[in-house]
Homo-oligomer: A and B are copies of this chain.
Amino acid sequence: VPFQIDPIIPFQGNEDFTRISPLRRIPVFIDGQVTLGDSTAIGEYLDERYPLPLLFPKMPAARAQARWLEEFADSRMGDVFIWRIFNVAVIRPAVLKQPRDDAAIGETLRDEPPPIMDYLESVAPGDGFACGDLALADIAIAVHFANLRWSRTAADLSPWPKTIAWIDRVERTPALAKLTSLAERAMTVRRAEWRALYGEMGIALSETTYAGQGFRKGPMSV
A residues apposed to B, CB below 8 Å: 22-23, 33-34, 36-38, 40-42, 44-45, 48-49, 60-61, 63-65, 67-68, 71-72, 75-76, 79, 115-116, 118-119, 219-220, 222
Q: Closest residue to A47 on the B side, CB-wise?
A: B60
Main secondary structure of the interface of A (DSSP, over half): helix
Query: A48 near B68 (CB under 8 angstroms)?
Result: no
Q: Closest residue to A56 on the B side, CB-wise?
A: B44
Top-5 shortest CB links A-B: A115-B219, A41-B67, A33-B61, A45-B64, A48-B60
Query: 13 pairs across A/B with beta carbons < 8 Å?
Result: A22-B72, A33-B60, A33-B61, A34-B65, A38-B68, A40-B67, A40-B71, A41-B64, A44-B67, A45-B67, A48-B63, A75-B75, A115-B219
Residues of B within 8 A of A79 (CB): 222
Q: Closest residue to A37 on the B side, CB-wise?
A: B68
Residues of B within 8 A of A222 (CB): 79
Q: Given A115-B219, A118-B219, are A38 and B63 also a contact pair (CB < 8 Å)?
A: no
Query: B34 near A64 (CB under 8 angstroms)?
Result: yes
Residues of B within 8 A of A23 (CB): 72, 76
Q: Closest residue to A115 on the B side, CB-wise?
A: B219
Query: A61 near B41 (CB under 8 angstroms)?
Result: no
Q: Given A36-B64, A60-B33, are A115 and B220 also a contact pair (CB < 8 Å)?
A: yes
Q: How far is the CB of A25 from chain B (nearest CB, A)?
A: 10
**Please, how many angstroms separate the alpha-carbon atoms of A67 and B67 in the complex?**
13
Q: How far is the CB of A145 from chain B (nearest CB, A)?
A: 17
**Please, how many angstroms separate the alpha-carbon atoms of A68 and B37 in the complex?**
7
